[in-house]
Amino acid sequence: MKTFITTTTAAAALTAGFLGLAAPAMAAPTGGGAEQTISELEAQGNRVVVNRQSSAPLDEASVVSVTRGPIQRGSVPFGTSNGDSNRSTIDQTVYVTVK
């Protein structure tokens, strides 16, 4: 019985570790430079934060990485005929590193 509990605990820990490392990667929109990538991410409804590794203008810069940040949850005042006063919002923050 002790071996079964140890094996089950080890399997659970390995599974949790694997799932933790298997978080979905954020793929950068294909084609174009940094300016186009940022525009596409904003058009998808993301809040984009740009991290610069050089002083190159965005229209000349290239994308080094795109990383998901925290999800921002909130509410917006919204009046309806049935008395609802708030509407939930969800915004994804995306960090784009350019060079």
Provide the pLDDT for residue 54. Answer: 95
Instruction: State the pLDDT confidence band at 19, using cuts at 50, 70 and 90.
Output: very low
Cβ neighbours for 36, distance < 8 A, ≥ 6 positions apart: 29
Q: HSE-up of 29 (CA within 13 Å, CB side)?
A: 16
| Residue 56 in tokens | 């190159």
What element of type H or E holds 6? helix 2-21
What does DSSP assign to residue 54? Answer: S
Handedness of CA 69, 73, 77, 79 (dihedral sign): positive
Give the residue extent of every domain in the chain.
26-98
The answer to whether 68 and 92 have CB atoms below 8 angstroms apart is: yes
What is the tens place of the pLDDT at every residue in 22-73? 334 455 555 679 999 999 999 999 999 999 999 999 999 999 999 999 998 8
Query: What are the CA-CA distances from residue 62 to residues 26, 57, 80 (Å)?
Result: 17, 10, 45
